[in-house]
Structure 1
Amino acid sequence: MFATGARVSRVLALAAALLLTCGVGRALAGGVGSGNIVLIVTDDHDQHLGGMTPMKKTKSLIGEAGATFVNSFTVTPLCCPSRCSILTGRYPHNHLVRNNSLAGNCSSAGWRSAGESSAFPVLLSKAGYQTFFAGKYLNQYGKKEAGGVGHVPPGWDQWHALVANSRYYNYTLSRNGAEEKHGDDYADDYLTDLIARRGLDFLDQRDPRRPFFLMLAPPAPHWPWTPAPQYRRRFADVSAPRDGSFDKAAKDKHWLLRQPANPMPDSSLRFLDDVYRRRWQTLLSVDDLVEALVRKLDEMKELNRTFVFFTSDNGYHTGQFSLPIDKRQLYEFDIRTPLLVRGPAVHVNVTLKAPVLNIDLAPTILDIAGINDSSANMDGQSFLPLMAPSLRNGSPRPFFLVEHTGEGLSAGDPTCPAVGPGLAQCFPDCVCEDSFNNTYACVRTLDGRHDMQYCEFADSESFVEVYDLRSDPHQLENIVKKVDPAVLQVMNQRLIQLQSCQGAGCRDLST
């Protein structure tokens, strides 16, 4: 009797596994009938400084219902090049978008002719997916010099893209190529809510016989940090965290980090605390968006066959190393991003430590859709096996590249008296973080045994920074003069290889 019971248990377990696999099998089979995919990308949303703290619904509905990646990184801490990396699965040195300006190839003719045609939504569309986009696309999108509002990138069935950079009110959308102007009425115009409404409308109007891909890109928590009216008084007692590298002098770091006033003046402290609160306030509307979306998918009985990704384009800093606010830096607060995923066969309420990159999103989404198109020539790799190991074995990369190209000019004055190309505004007590000599490339090693970062600057000093994050998680001490020269040579050679890698060559270097 015991043996029979054991056999029955094994049969039932096998049947359950087959049902689970079949459920995801539809999501991996490719073509019409594949699983649904939703990608939510916030703007300047840090993971390192408490950026997910106000996102209680998102953490519950996605993270606790799926996987939370605690070592998620952007390969470049700046909006436009990072978003291009998400769309193409490529490092910036391969998609060639280096900065937020047209001169930096953001929405340039080169991007429109080459980058957009190889972005993963094109492949999803060819495979039968219904595709929908709403929100911030690229910083220069919609401007006359960037093709105007009539330009709709290939691969999208429905297109509701913000013209230019993040705004909450008084903006222009390209609605399927037609100009649509919005004012400052909360009910009609608040962009985060409008994105949510249009996404839900698309779900109501979709063809239920075909799979869908939604990409929602709300402006929060990017400047100008305008919260919805009902959230303006929230977090009144919250201040930017004062631990770690907050207001620490950076005497052993590159030129830019040696410019800020230290200790920070009261004007900076008041300003960054206000920014920190307002960023959290804007995120509450994103939390509402996630809740409405998950509820809708559940009502449609599509939730259990839909993968939902939540991430950001880059991190942010508020006072670290006396820099009041911005991104663009090589440190953990700027390169770490939130990443939560739920979906068929994704383990429930798990925390995953394997490092994943924003260039891995595109190959992961194509993997889910069952699309194996080698012509896409992506540098990233699918992390589906990491969060759904019942499907396939996979191993994480031990190291990866982070690169950034500054281009702003400050006429030699580090206090930024004049705004240069690509620098939209200069906040109180800021320094020129978009300076052309804030250009660097780093190899980040995170393999269970080592947790290190090696960076080289393209400046007159040929400056090098090295950190051992096991003993120095806040990157307070540059140990370049203490490290064995043989180790530095290995790091240098690894960096040179990564900076010129392409496609499978990038993945081969990281195994």
Structure 2
Amino acid sequence: MKTSSLRTKFFVLIMIGVLLVGELLLAPQAALAQTSKPNILFVLVDDMDADTINRNPEKYAPNIKSLLIDQGVSFPNFFVNVSLCCPSRVNTLRGQYAHNSGILTNSRPDGGFRKTYAQGLEKETIATSLQANGYQTALIGKYLNGYPDTAPSDTYIPPGWTEWYSPMEKGKKKNKKYGNPYAQYNYTLNQNGKLVEYGDKPKDYGTDVYTSFAVDFIQRSAKDGKPFFVYLAPFNIHGPFTPAPRHEGLFPGVKAPRPDNFNEANVSTKPQFMQKLPRLNQTQIDKIDQKYRKRLRSLQSVDEAIGKLVDTLKANGQLDNTYIVLTSDNGFKQGIHRASTGKLTAYEEDIRLNLVVRGPGIPDGKKLPQQVGNIDFFPTFTDMAGVEPPAFVDGRSFLPLLKRTTPNLPKWRSAFLIEHKQDPKRDAALENQTKLVQDLSEPEDQLELEDLSELQSLQEGGQVPKLPTYQAIRTQDYTYVEYKTGAKELYNIKKDPYQLNNLASNADPALLKRLAKRLNKLRTCQADSCRAIEEQPFTS
């Protein structure tokens, strides 16, 4: 009995010692985890208007709803400066309004990868700032329209990216066809300096491939113990709206939303270029419904990606230390104001998008009313990382809103600038749509790959307005637009959310003067002056 009692006591002492040693060994790791910089996962969907998710998130985006919207903060008043792919993505990478970056269109001479590269804009981006401060960075998916044409080589990788997985659009060899990544199959991917061709099998589906690279990068970064920044940019839900095979039969019979401005009955108060659009006929409406179903199906692989990424973060002990940010580069019209397709306008469907953020210290299921924009991502991400953004940045960090560290908000934006420059080359392509759609043997000489789906839509009888150059501002209550032609639009968003009644010709002259004055200041603002002008109180 005595021997047994001694053995028991000895065993208990050994176990206590093991536990103490274990705690001592784990203590440094816990301290390191607490002081580690947070990770950032940025998911930028292509051409996703807000209503695609908002109409029925539980049905059409269940993972985005349960894992992001319900467990994070949404910004119903998130806007893009230019509702077009390349300018919007440069807004994000540089934190600048388009009049400061100089990137206003998707192709030369006013935009695209070529101009971005020629101007040296890639030398200072969110990627270079984070990488210089210890972050592992990865761009996975879509970069800029026309990449990597005019770069030193077809395997060119911009500064700031630790790893790079982006498909080719145009290269140095003009007779070399790299495929069309918008179609999700038969594309060529630059994988860290090596060109890899993908085929037409289910395993080659673009968004699934990009997701697998993101998962692998997160796993390796977590193992290395280094903070990471993932910029995941699938081509969904951009045309041709190709779904993964497993999603092809979903949502039979679903129709595009029919808000009050769908196939608008009376456009007499709108500018001439909008009045020229006839009302949509039933055939055109049927096409819109078909494409809407394709867009929903295309969204499913993105929604699944969110689930896989959250699972990966959780399995690797990184979920509680990672900011996840989901948004889109621009909106998309589907029968709105008689336009069967397209973007570019200052109407809500093109500029007002979803933005959802979850992460450390962010409350669950909240909506914040403040105006935020895509020029704010750069300073927000650097704020998350504890890094000062460059002086040229026009945007502002919205992290204090997320963290609720500025509850009274003594200063915040009261107006956001919207810009668009007419692209004569693109307009010529639209006017000559039949020839271009039928003769795509040399599409790179005529238009960007992303325009092919819109041209196909026009060939099938669709219609879009021929949009002049414009600048606009969006306040909490109003959208005010000035076109190069002299036309103007003014909408009271609170009273007229579908922008049916253009008030420009009969509004209070004092109100028009205040809006015009604020717009005139913002259209030439730079850095600090942008923020100062935005913060000036605006009374309606």
TM superposition score category, shorter chain reference: 0.7 to 0.9
Query: 1:429 Cα shift?
Result: 2.7
| Mapped contact 1:72–1:357 kept (Cα < 8 A) | yes
Match of 2:439 in 1: none
Query: 1:373 Cα shift?
Result: 3.3
Residue among 45, 49, 61 paired with 2:48: 45
Larger Rg: 2
Give 1:452's aligned amino acid: Y
Q: How does 1:100-499 map to 2 (within 5 A)?
A: 100-143=106-149, 145-164=150-169, 166-187=182-203, 189-206=204-221, 208-248=224-264, 249-262=266-279, 264-375=280-391, 377-390=392-405, 394=409, 395-408=411-424, 410=427, 421=447, 423-424=451-452, 425-426=454-455, 427=457, 428-431=460-463, 433=465, 435=466, 437-446=467-476, 451-459=477-485, 462-499=486-523
Residue among 103, 122, 130 paired with 1:97: 103
Task: Give 3-state SS (helix, strand or coil) of 1:326's partner.
Answer: coil
Query: 1:147 Cα shift?
Result: 4.9
In 2, distance between residues paired with 1:412 and 1:138? 20
| Mapped contact 2:117–2:151 kept (Cα < 8 A) | no
| Mapped contact 2:187–2:197 kept (Cα < 8 A) | yes
* TM-score using structure 2 length: 0.83
Query: 1:393 Cα shift?
Result: 6.8
Match of 1:36 in 2: 39
Give 1:72's aligned amino acid: F
Map Cα deviations across residues 149-199 of structure 1 (whole Å, 9 max, x no partner).
321110001100122363311111111122111111112x10111111011
Task: Give 3-state SS (helix, strand or coil) of 1:108's partner.
Answer: helix
In 2, distance between residues paired with 1:26 and 1:323? 52
In 2, distance between residues paired with 1:125 and 1:317? 37
In 2, distance between residues paired with 1:415 and 1:113? 31
Deviation larger for 377-386 or 52-61: 52-61
Structure 1 residues not aligned, in runs of 5+: 1-22
Map Cα deviations across residues 357-384 of structure 1 (whole Å, 9 max, x no partner).
0111111000000011343x11110000
Give 2:158's aligned amino acid: P
In 2, distance between residues paired with 1:51 and 1:282? 16
Query: 1:51 Cα shift?
Result: 5.7
Against the structure 1 CA distance between its residues 315 and 231, is the aligned structure 2 distance closer, same or farther, given a 3 Å change threshold?
same
Give 2:244's aligned amino acid: A
| Mapped contact 2:131–2:137 kept (Cα < 8 A) | yes
| Mapped contact 1:259–1:414 kept (Cα < 8 A) | no
Map Cα deviations across residues 311-331 of structure 1 (whole Å, 9 max, x no partner).
100111100011111111110
Query: 1:142 Cα shift?
Result: 2.5
Against the structure 1 CA distance between its residues 413 and 59, is the aligned structure 2 distance closer, same or farther, given a 3 Å change threshold?
closer
Q: Which runs of 4+ in 1 moved over 4 A?
A: 49-52, 391-395, 409-423
Against the structure 1 CA distance between its residues 413 and 285, is the aligned structure 2 distance closer, same or farther, given a 3 Å change threshold?
closer
Against the structure 1 CA distance between its residues 285 and 421, is the aligned structure 2 distance closer, same or farther, given a 3 Å change threshold?
closer
Query: 1:411 Cα shift?
Result: 6.0
Task: Give 3-state SS (helix, strand or coil) of 2:183's partner.
Answer: coil
Match of 1:64 in 2: 70
Against the structure 1 CA distance between its residues 149 and 391, is the aligned structure 2 distance closer, same or farther, given a 3 Å change threshold?
farther
Query: 1:432 Cα shift?
Result: 5.1
Task: Give 3-state SS (helix, strand or coil) of 2:417's partner.
Answer: strand
Against the structure 1 CA distance between its residues 325 and 413, is the aligned structure 2 distance closer, same or farther, given a 3 Å change threshold?
closer
Structure 2 residues not aligned, in runs of 5+: 1-29, 170-180, 437-445, 536-540
Query: 1:228 Cα shift?
Result: 0.8
Match of 2:20 in 1: none
Give 1:190's aligned amino acid: Y
Q: CA RMSD in A?
A: 2.4
* TM-score using structure 1 length: 0.88
Task: Give 3-state SS (helix, strand or coil) of 1:166's partner.
Answer: helix
In 2, distance between residues paired with 1:172 and 1:413? 27
In 2, distance between residues paired with 1:226 and 1:412? 23
Task: Give 3-state SS (helix, strand or coil) of 1:174's partner.
Answer: strand
Identical positions, percent: 33
| Mapped contact 2:116–2:122 kept (Cα < 8 A) | no
Deviation larger for 92-101 or 419-428: 419-428
| Mapped contact 2:99–2:523 kept (Cα < 8 A) | yes
Against the structure 1 CA distance between its residues 288 and 110, is the aligned structure 2 distance closer, same or farther, given a 3 Å change threshold?
closer
Map Cα deviations across residues 222-248 of structure 1 (whole Å, 9 max, x no partner).
001111111111111210011220000
Give 1:40's aligned amino acid: V
In 2, distance between residues paired with 1:215 and 1:371? 18
Task: Give 3-state SS (helix, strand or coil) of 2:113's partner.
Answer: coil
Higher normalized helix content (fraction of residues):
2
Residue among 524, 527, 531 paired with 1:500: 524
Task: Give 3-state SS (helix, strand or coil) of 2:292's partner.
Answer: helix
Query: 1:76 Cα shift?
Result: 0.9
In 2, distance between residues paired with 1:418 and 1:36? 48
| Mapped contact 1:73–1:357 kept (Cα < 8 A) | yes
Map Cα deviations across residues 283-334 of structure 1 (whole Å, 9 max, x no partner).
1100110000001101111100110000100111100011111111110001
Query: 1:510 Cα shift?
Result: 1.1
Please say if 1:88 is aligned against 2:94: yes
